[in-house]
Chain A
């Protein structure tokens, strides 16, 4: 596709349920990033992928959060046993080593935990 896509665009879930958020990066982009944007807050870095490996997971807030990337393309962010404080917009971005430092963002998934 032309840009980064994310699904679903909105997700409402009950506390304690697991959720999966999907990101499709721009074709050919080797780097992929997940961020969390809480209401009125900036972007909180969660995890970085280079290809299928994640050399930087330092931003994952707890062991309830995990992410994987397969085929150097699609990535899934999984949140287990969701809590109300997990409510936020989850943004995915990708970048190409040929475009210095520029990250291309998807529209985000708005997660609401009731």
Chain B
């Protein structure tokens, strides 16, 4: 079945460092891909998404490009801030079921230190 794999955390970076969180997926067909973020004590919220190959999703300085050839959707940010400390979930949605079922990866915890 469909699945999402993320790099294991926790990841600790200094402020203004470059961030990459790797995400790869397994799916048949053409899923949509997402990054969700969960700040401490809060629910998940959508960070960005891409619905077809070569699309780039971006939001709040974060970017991810849908790479069908490598089945990847890596999250990047050029300069992280302390406020980016959170857990990041890569996810996919397939249309094979009767609704847009979303499958989440295990999450990657990011801590940014001043």
CB distance from B52 to the nearest CB of A (A): 12
Tell me if B46 and A102 are in contact (CB < 8 A): yes
Tell me if A56 and B99 are in contact (CB < 8 A): yes
**A50 interface contact, C-beta 8 A:** yes
**A4 interface contact, C-beta 8 A:** yes
- For A48, what are the chain B residues with a Cβ–Cβ distance below 8 Å? 99, 101
Tell me if A101 and B32 are in contact (CB < 8 A): yes
- Residue of B42, B45, B89, B101 near A56 (CB, 8 A) is B101
Tell me if B43 and A107 are in contact (CB < 8 A): yes
**A42 interface contact, C-beta 8 A:** yes
Tell me if B101 and A91 are in contact (CB < 8 A): no
**A71 interface contact, C-beta 8 A:** no
What DSSP secondary structure best describes chain A's contact surface?
strand
Stretch at the interface among B11-19, B63-71, B73-81, B103-111: B103-111
- For B43, what are the chain A residues with a Cβ–Cβ distance below 8 Å? 4, 91, 93, 105-108
Q: A4-B43, A42-B89, A43-B89 are in contact. Are A103 and B102 (CB under 8 A)?
A: yes
Q: How many A-B residue pairs have CB under 8 A?
A: 57
**Contact pattern, A 39-55, Cβ under 8 Å of B = 1, otherwise 0:** 00111010010100001
CB distance from B24 to the nearest CB of A (A): 15
A48 to B101, CA, bound (A): 9
**A77 interface contact, C-beta 8 A:** no
- For A93, what are the chain B residues with a Cβ–Cβ distance below 8 Å? 43-44
Q: Which A56-114 residues have C-beta < 8 A from chain B? A: 56, 91, 93, 95, 100-108
- For A101, what are the chain B residues with a Cβ–Cβ distance below 8 Å? 32, 34, 49, 51, 93, 100, 102
CB distance from B59 to the nearest CB of A (A): 12
- Residue of B49, B100, B101, B106 near A41 (CB, 8 A) is B106
22 contacts between A and B (CB under 8 A): A41-B106, A42-B89, A42-B105, A45-B101, A45-B102, A45-B103, A48-B99, A55-B98, A56-B101, A91-B44, A93-B43, A100-B32, A100-B51, A100-B100, A101-B32, A101-B100, A101-B102, A103-B44, A104-B45, A105-B36, A105-B44, A107-B42
